[in-house]
Structure formats: structure tokens, C-alpha cells
Homo-oligomer: A and B are copies of this chain.
């Protein structure tokens, strides 16, 4: 089991080396932190808020007949907060700089989400 946790931690930490990325985390769908490489954040609150954001995004997409949710991005003054679901039980959170190539990061996130889904 330890090697499984190690694999997850490695993927999360490795994602920080993607250009423009400042931090990454894997959060359970019910809002608990699974693995985190986030700078200076209140981990528990971030995990809970991320899960709630993804859940509300799904409700909005569903209510507006937009189909199944793929990703959420929140753009703010100092950068981006990016979320994508990892199967039905988890989500992948990434922080990116204001000048990051968001399109490219989402491609990498989708690939990592697939890898994480195999491990979970």
C-alpha cells in the first residue's frame, strides 16, 4: 500500500515541474486531502472548497444541460486555480501563474488524472 501512496505523491510533486505550475494536489470527492504539494495553504480548507467547487460546477453544467463536466478554471489577480475530476471519487487541483499556458496545462492535467485514476 505504501508504494501506492508513494506513486500518487510522486505524480503530484512531479506536476510542479510543469512550466507555469506553482502547486498541485489530489483531493477526494468528499473534500479530504489525499496528496498535496501546495504552497502556504490551509490544506484542509482548500480541499473542502475544491470539492465543493467541483460539485457545484457539476450541478451548474447539469442544470444548464451542458453535459458532463471536464474542467473548472478560476482566474484571479495572481494566477489560476484549475480543477479536473479524477474519476468519480477524486479531483486534481493545480495552481498556475497568471502568465501560464493554461491550455497546455489542462492537457497535462488530463493525462495525469488518467494516471492517478489507474492508481486510486
- Tell me the chain A residues, 65-100 only, with Cβ under 8 Å from chain B: 65-81, 95
Pick the contact of A66 from B45, B71, B80 — CB < 8 Å?
Answer: B80
The complex is assembled from copies of this chain, and their number is 2
Q: Are B42 and A63 in contact (CB under 8 A)?
A: yes
With an 8 A cutoff between CB atoms, is A11 at the interface? no
How many chain A residues touch the partner (CB < 8 A)? Answer: 35
Shortest Cβ distance from A42 into chain B, in angstroms? 6
Q: Are A76 and B67 in contact (CB under 8 A)?
A: yes
Q: List 9 additional contacts besides A46-B64, A71-B74; criterion CB under 8 Å.
A: A40-B65, A52-B56, A60-B81, A68-B77, A69-B76, A70-B75, A70-B77, A72-B73, A73-B73
Chain A contact residues, CB within 8 Å of chain B? 38, 40-42, 45-46, 49-50, 52-53, 56-57, 59-61, 63-81, 95
Which 8 A-B residue pairings sit nearest by Cβ, starting from the closest?
Answer: A67-B77, A67-B78, A61-B76, A66-B76, A57-B74, A70-B75, A67-B76, A69-B76
